[in-house]
Amino acid sequence: MIEWLRIRPEGTYVDATAGTAGHAIEIARRLTTGRLVAIDRDPQALEIARERLKPYEEKVVLVHAEFSKIGEVAGDLKLPPLDGVIADLGISSLELDSPERGFSFRWAAPLDMRMNPDTPMTAYEIVNQWSEKELANLLYKKAEERDSRRIARAIVRSRPIRDTEHLATVVAGARKARGRQKLQPATKTFLALRNAVNREEEELEQFLSRTPATLSIGGRWIVLSYHSLEDRPVKQAFQRLAREGNFRVLTRKVIQPGEEEIRNNPRARSAKMRVAEKIEPLEGRAAGSWQ
Residues 131-173 pLDDT 10s: 999 999 999 999 999 999 999 999 999 999 999 999 999 999 9
Give the confidence band of 51 by pLDDT, cuts at 50, 70, 90.
very high
pLDDT in tens, 262-273: 888 887 888 999
Give the confidence band of 96 by pLDDT, cuts at 50, 70, 90.
confident
Is residue 13 a contact partner of residue 84, using CB atoms and an 8 Å limit? yes
pLDDT at position 4? 97
pLDDT at position 195? 94
Residue of 235, 130, 233 lying closest to 189 (CA atoms): 130
- Higher per-residue confidence, 179 vs 124: 124
pLDDT at position 186? 93
pLDDT surpasses 80 at 94: no
Question: Average pLDDT for residues 89-101, to the nearest whole number?
Answer: 79
pTM value?
A: 0.90
pLDDT at position 104? 87
Cα–Cα distance for residue pair 123/105, rounded to 1 Å: 13
pLDDT surpasses 90 at 281: no
Instruction: List the single range of 3-7, 88-92, 208-212, 274-278 with lowest mean pLDDT.
Output: 88-92
Is residue 197 a contact partner of residue 127, using CB atoms and an 8 Å limit? no
pLDDT surpasses 60 at 202: yes
Domains of the chain: 2-93+200-284 (3.40.50.150), 99-198 (1.10.150.170)
Is residue 102 a contact partner of residue 109, using CB atoms and an 8 Å limit? yes
Cα–Cα distance for residue pair 44/18, rounded to 1 Å: 11
pLDDT at position 162? 93
- Higher per-residue confidence, 190 vs 91: 190
pLDDT in tens, 166-198: 999 999 999 876 655 667 899 999 999 999 999
pLDDT at position 265? 85
- Higher per-residue confidence, 96 vs 255: 255
What is the identity of the amino acid at 136? A
Q: Residue 215 pairs with which residues in a beta bridge? A: 82
- Higher per-residue confidence, 32 vs 99: 32
Cα–Cα distance for residue pair 201/195, rounded to 1 Å: 7
80, 21, 89, 268 alpha-carbon torsion, rounded to 10°? 140
Instruction: List the single range of 28-37, 46-55, 226-235, 277-286 with lowest mean pLDDT.
Output: 277-286
Give the confidence band of 287 by pLDDT, cuts at 50, 70, 90.
very low
pLDDT surpasses 70 at 290: no
Question: Average pLDDT for residues 51-65, to the nearest whole number?
Answer: 97
pLDDT surpasses 50 at 289: no
Maximum Cα interatomic distance, the chain, rounded to a whole number of Å: 68
| Alpha helices in 108-199, H assignment, sequence order | 123-129, 132-143, 148-157, 164-174, 187-198
**In the predicted model, what is the mean pLDDT of the chain?**
92
